[in-house]
Amino acid sequence: MAIVAITRTMAATALGFALLPCAMNSAAQGQKIFLDYDEAALDAAYDQRNWADNIKEVYGRLEVANQRVTVELGEPQRESYGTSKIETLDWYRNDNADAPIHIHFHGGAWGWGEARQNAFMAAPSLRAGAHVVIPNYVKVIDSNGDLMPQAEQLRAAVAWVYENAERMGADPECILLSGHSSGAHMAAVVLTTDWSQFSLPDDVVKQALLISGMYDLLPVSLSSRNEYVAFTEENVMALSPQRHIDRINAELVVAVGGRESPEFQRQSQSFVDALRDNGKEVRFVEAEALNHFEIVEDLGDATGQIGAIAIEKLELKPVEGDCQFFE
């Protein structure tokens, strides 16, 4: 079936977002297209570069940290979880028998990034006693703008980890799934999986740490991200975790930076409210001093607010005097 991208007006109309009569011309300056956002403001709200003037410095630190982690911990074991070339994962193995597993989905607006660029986040969990797994997956820019293949690959990656955990010396009953930005969105999507399609129990993932994610794709589909993502009525509904709260079984931590876009903060708070309204176990964490890029950097620091939460959810303790990879 051909994928038909929807325009801002088409998306709002088809997905039940009420437009004022004058709003049918989506190019009208100052016109509200979502909440109090006009087109330009919504575009800015979903571009975190507008809210982080130190992005180049953060990326520079992460690049150095990745190099140091590789020197300190060695290269990960590369495994294939599917048949296509991209369906691989980096597995940082721990020598402890039956150690827990920390799976992390990297961010990158669904279209950029790869596992090796996220080695920095492996160190705290690995040194504390866990295995760390970082999957690669198809970029939306390589799948005609369709998000579904990415979601299906990540479901398959988690299933593969669960099924192969014992062979790798890990405990399949102790999986923490984390994700950042678009990776947090996809991690939340994976939490809504019907695991019976893999002949697995419904609680494959016991714990989740979702960092600076998007959990309702409707406003995202109205932003300039629809220039490279082929949002449709079907995939917005299917891939909006907030619309499938009843399927979530894991205990969650939802984190967001206090210096992120107010729209990203609203996404996190709205998701938490929906989870609580449905009786789900969730902790909300606002890292007040951090922006969208600093907060994932913090995941790679055992003494950081976010890094410490990951180790806590793995039921481990940080290594005293843990090696720090950031200057």
Q: Which helix (H) or strand (E) holds 36?
A: none
Judge whether 97 and 83 are in contact, CB under 8 Å.
no
Distance CA 270, CA 248 (A): 16
Largest Cα–Cα separation, the chain: 64
pLDDT digits (tens, 9 = 90+) for 36-81: 999 999 999 999 999 999 999 999 999 999 999 999 889 999 999 9
Give me 62's structure tokens: 């992460």
Q: Which helix (H) or strand (E) holds 177?
A: strand 170-180
| 31: nearest Cα among 168, 311, 22 | 22
The C-alpha angle with vertex 262 and arms to 48 and 313, in degrees rounded to 5, equals: 80
For residue 112, the one-letter residue type is W
Give me 172's structure tokens: 């399949």
| 119: nearest Cα among 159, 83, 168, 65 | 65
| Cβ-proximal residues to 113 (8 Å cutoff; 6+ apart), any chain | 106, 107
Name the phi and psi angles at 56, rounded to 5: -65, -40
pLDDT of residue 33: 97
Those residues of the chain that have pLDDT short of 50 are: 1-6, 9-27, 321-327
**DSSP per residue over 248-304, as a string?**
--SEEEEEEETTS-HHHHHHHHHHHHHHHHTT--EEEEEETT--TTHHHHHHT-TTS
| Cβ-proximal residues to 291 (8 Å cutoff; 6+ apart), any chain | 48, 51, 52, 54, 257, 259, 260
pTM greater than 0.95 (yes/no): no
Distance CA 122, CA 310 (A): 11
Domain definitions of the chain by residue range: 53-313
Neighbours of 91 (CB within 10 A): 23
Distance CA 118, CA 102 (A): 13
For residue 211, the one-letter residue type is I
Assign domain 53-313 one CATH number from 3.40.50.1820, 3.40.50.20, 1.10.1200.10, 3.50.20.10. Answer: 3.40.50.1820
pLDDT of residue 317: 74
